[in-house]
């Protein structure tokens, strides 16, 4: 698979978001099956794997660590800190105090079965801890050889600049897709100016852009989409025009909607590396097929123009989670 540079880090043009194997979309995948999928991704050219302490919590890091241990020197592993875990009351509490970052990193290293974390993200900006203190702590961890690169997740442009001034950022991770293009307004120009890579999560709109979800779809117990406004039946129905238009374009080009959605992202900037996730081998292979699609600038512009007039209905997070993004 083609390699890309995000910041000063080289990764495969598509990574694997491992969250859904353990968290967010219902019961965790059996460990043996999850390990097999991660290794299948590597065998097909993926060298960039994304996890976090929160996913499980902890289970996902353990699975990723076990799966990648035999090939650790051939892959890039990203994980995240920033939540107090285990939670004292079952809710998600932010905690990016310097001492807690250090504690979190030591625990992640053990679960990931590694001596160094390739890319360490702050999972969400903690309003109670100055970002300069966070960046300074990660800078010290880099100096100590426990971390190689620093990243932020779902941070706003001002915070990105402040953090970057203390410890240069390698990547920002945030949601970005044909289903959520808000980063184009301020985030992408900021990253381009500063030379920071972009790692879009949910590049298939949490499954919506595959064309397999409609207003009759029901999500299982523990599936995060049950509380996401965009996935309420009336909003799914209202947003079907986007998928219909995408499907028409994909069929004309001989690809699936998911492949065109990923290829469009890859065509936006050479320093964008999406991390689609899946639990199924055939979906993994479908997604990775997008890396072989070379959309021209004209192709990408055609897709953008065809979908630009379609308004998306519904927020991407419930209110209590939406308040944590863009800080």
pLDDT of 30-60, one tens digit each? 999 999 999 999 999 999 999 999 999 999 9
pLDDT of 192-227, one tens digit each? 999 999 999 999 999 999 999 999 999 999 999 999
pLDDT of 75-102, one tens digit each? 999 999 999 999 989 899 999 999 999 9
Give the global pTM: 0.97
Q: Are 290 and 258 in contact (CB under 8 A)?
A: yes
Cα–Cα distance between 240 and 242 in angstroms, integer? 5
* Catalytically active residues, by annotation: 55
């Amino acid at each position: 698979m083609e390699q890309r540079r995000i910041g000063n880090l080289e990764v495969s043009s598509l990574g694997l978001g491992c969250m859904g194997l353990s968290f967010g979309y219902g019961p965790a995948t059996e460990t043996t099956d999850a390990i097999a999928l991660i290794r299948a991704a590597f065998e097909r050219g993926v060298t960039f794997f994304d996890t976090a302490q929160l996913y499980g919590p902890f289970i996902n890091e353990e699975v990723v660590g076990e799966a990648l241990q035999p090939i650790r020197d051939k892959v890039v592993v990203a994980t995240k800190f920033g939540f107090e875990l285990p939670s004292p009351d079952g809710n998600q509490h932010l905690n990016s105090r310097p001492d807690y970052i250090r504690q979190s990193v030591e625990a992640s290293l053990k679960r990931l079965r590694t001596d160094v974390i390739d890319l360490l993200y702050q999972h969400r900006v903690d309003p109670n801890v100055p970002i300069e203190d966070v960046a300074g702590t990660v800078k010290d961890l880099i100096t100590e050889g426990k971390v190689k690169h620093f990243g932020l997740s779902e941070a706003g442009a001002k915070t990105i600049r402040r953090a970057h001034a203390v410890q240069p950022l390698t990547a920002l991770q945030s949601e970005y897709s044909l289903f959520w293009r808000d980063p184009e307004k301020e985030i992408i120009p900021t990253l381009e100016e500063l030379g920071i890579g972009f790692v879009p999560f949910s590049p298939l709109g949490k499954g919506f852009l595959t064309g397999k979800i409609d207003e009759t779809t029901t999500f299982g117990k523990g599936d995060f989409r049950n509380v996401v406004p965009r996935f309420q039946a009336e909003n799914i129905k209202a947003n079907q025009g986007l998928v219909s238009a995408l499907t028409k374009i994909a069929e004309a080009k001989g690809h699936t909607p998911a492949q065109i959605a990923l290829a469009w992202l890859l065509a936006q900037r050479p320093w964008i590396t999406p991390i689609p996730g899946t639990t199924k081998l055939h979906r993994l292979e479908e997604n990775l097929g997008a890396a072989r699609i070379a959309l021209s600038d004209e192709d990408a512009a055609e897709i953008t123009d065809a979908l630009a007039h379609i308004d998306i209905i519904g927020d991407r997070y419930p209110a209590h989670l939406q308040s944590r993004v863009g800080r």
